[in-house]
Amino acid sequence: MPEQKCVFLDRDGVLNRERGDYTYRLNDFEVMPGVPEALALLKNNGYLLVVVTNQGGIAKGLYTKTDVMACHQKLQNSCGNLIDAHYYAPSHPNYSESLSRKPDSLMLERAIAKYNIGPAQSWMVGDSLRDLEAAEKVGVKSILVGDKYEVGTYPVQVKDLWEAAQVIVCKGDV
């Protein structure tokens, strides 16, 4: 079976609005403008879509896995059920260690193994350097989105997921 191409997606700040605090209540979970269209563009160009998100508030006891799953279902409903898989790391370094938590790469490694993903033809879209570090560890190209970092901080840096999707479709697996 040939390797599949994939776009790994951080959640908070890429798919939904970053609130500066943990986002786990459905009323606070707001899908960013252009996200459904960006996901459709990527899906129409043959990419698997896999969310990889740190959810350290679970380890801190601020919310539960059920809260995370409810937010993921709201995301799916808002985006036409285009996301193929959701991976989340419930740990936090002050409470529990985990190789799943970005900047480590276990969430990506699990998806690569399960879905026969070709890292060389895949991308990571994140709003934090730790997202991009996780991608680098497994040989996946990456794009930094948002305005957390000064322009020029990272080689491929764009405003949002819509712009990232256009870059990915244009560059393909080159």
Whether 10 is catalytic is: yes
Residues whose CB falls within 8 Å of the CB of residue 83, separated by 6 or more in sequence, listed in order: 9, 39, 49, 50, 51, 72, 75, 76
DSSP state of 156: S
In the chain, what is the greatest distance between 2 CA atoms, to the nearest angstrom? 43
Q: From the candidates 10, 104, 127, 131, which is the catalytic residue?
A: 10
Q: Is 69 helix (H, G, I), strand (E, B) or coil?
A: helix
Whether 12 is catalytic is: yes
Q: From the candidates 12, 67, 127, 160, which is the catalytic residue?
A: 12
Alpha helices in the chain (DSSP H): 35-44, 65-78, 106-115, 129-137, 161-171
* Catalytic positions: 10, 12
